Amino acid sequence: MTGEFDDPAALTATQVLAAFRAGRLTAVAYAQALLDRCRDLAWLNAFIGGTSEALLLEAREADNRRRRGRSAGILDGLPIVIKDNIDVAGWATTAGTPGLEEHVPDTTAPVAAALFEAGALMLGKTNMHELAYGITSNNGTFGPVRNPYGVRRIAGGSSGGTGTAVAARMVAAGLGTDTGGSVRIPAALCGIAGLRPTTHRYSQAGIVPISHSRDTAGPMAQGVADIALLDGVITGESAPLETIRLKDLRLGVPRRSFFEAIEPEVLTIVEALFQRLQQAGVVLVEADPEGMRELLRDLGRAVAFHETPPDIVKYLAASGAPTTFDRIVADLGSPDVAAIFAEIIQNPVSEALYRAARDDRMPRLRSLFQDYFARHRVAAIIFPATALTASAIGEDEQVMLCGRPVSTFAAFLRNTEPATLAGLPGIVLPAGRSPAEGLPVGVELDGPPGSDRRLLAIAAAIEPFLAPLPPPTPSPAQLR
């Protein structure tokens, strides 16, 4: 039953579930529409290992349950995708690296299990930057993920497969992971929404790690309602979002900290949003978290580089993976990731430097942000999620930013990393498209630790003021 919808695959998750409940769409018809789109767009390389062969059977069972009035849960019949560093029983967890291609866990990560227990169906595992250690999703073994708004451009990373799958309407929603910006960067570059929850609000079990002090899974979808839906299922905080009165909303605009060296077309789109928000009554407070950049200097590297080897070893033991850390490193397929791991092993971060970073500078950074939010009476800060739009696939080392060559990693990570080290929740929303090439631009909101549901409510309140993005129309001809 799809006659009421020109393209069921274009519906949001909340729209799909409402259509299921109203009897206007069957889970089988919707699943078939997604599978057809995944087949037609397979060349975007969003998936590792293809899509589920059992999806139509599981969708039929969901339809039968609904007819009998025995729904499995709030997500019953909704296909989702899972980034391939998150365990799903019976599916390989490769983390985008050759050394884990044979790793098929027996248990599902709690963050994914919560969605399946609510009735979600597994569509497939998504491609990613190898071991999540990068921001382009140009994977040396499984190939690059292509951005559906510019197929020669990166999807962002490391959750690029989920970003592309959602943006290209191959699926309505899915999970990524975020250590330095790996949910929010692909959300910004692919024109979708992505949430990094407060650190440790979601379980980290069953996820191939980088850093237990910084890692988290996060939902990715077309808009705030779908993000809030998945977040509520994962955490149990499923009460409706509060209503935010824009005339009572104060947002911080940290210009010195987050607005330097921003691509002009990105800045133009964000500034236009600010004007619309101010006209609606939002108070924008121009103030910076003083001393933030000094505290951040080499902080992320010290924590992540020290924690990565022991954290991966613990994951391998807990998940029963048939390999070792040394064998994984020996088989790395992406030159940029191999170079990072060579640095981690050959120049290890000392215990003293790590302790100073984790036990002194990270707490000071958290305190700095807590003081900022309280002193300026702002509910969140708002800024460009990335300094530039999606760069060309293959520009793994350097990109041009404001006329200067800069590190690709640093350019895209600069504005997303502070939240990861301060433990803040952050959500990215699509704000518009660049006039020259039609590439998405994202805006980010970061809030105080633990304010996730209020941050989602704020995002929902400002979402109507964002410039809408039309669905992408990728074609293989664009590769010629």
Domains in the chain, CATH or no CATH each: 14-245+381-470 (3.90.1300.10)
Tokens describing residue 225: 């309602």
Tokens describing residue 305: 């580089």
Tokens describing residue 11: 């519906």
Q: What is the pLDDT along the chain (480 residues), one digit of tens a residue?
A: 545 788 999 999 999 999 999 999 999 999 999 999 999 999 999 999 889 889 999 999 999 999 999 999 999 999 999 999 999 999 999 999 999 999 999 999 999 999 999 999 999 999 999 999 999 999 999 999 999 999 999 999 999 999 999 999 999 999 999 999 999 999 999 999 999 999 999 999 999 999 999 999 999 999 999 999 999 999 999 899 999 999 999 999 999 999 999 999 999 999 999 999 999 999 999 999 999 999 999 999 999 999 999 999 999 999 999 999 999 999 999 999 999 999 999 999 999 999 999 999 999 999 999 999 999 999 999 999 999 999 999 999 999 999 999 999 999 999 999 999 999 999 999 999 999 999 999 999 999 999 999 999 999 999 999 988 999 999 999 998
Tokens describing residue 338: 């191999």
Do 446 and 380 touch, CB atoms closer than 8 A? yes
Q: Which helix (H) or strand (E) holds 146?
A: strand 146-147
Q: For residue 226, what pLDDT is reported?
A: 98
Catalytic residue numbers, as ranges: 83, 158, 182
E strand map for 203-279: 216-221, 250-253
For the question of whether the overall pTM of this predicted structure is more than 0.85, the answer is yes
Strand pairing report for 193-196 and 216-221 = antiparallel
First to last CA, the chain: 37
Q: For residue 3, what pLDDT is reported?
A: 53
Angstrom distances, CA of residue 395 to CA of 73, 158, 245, 408: 44, 15, 43, 7
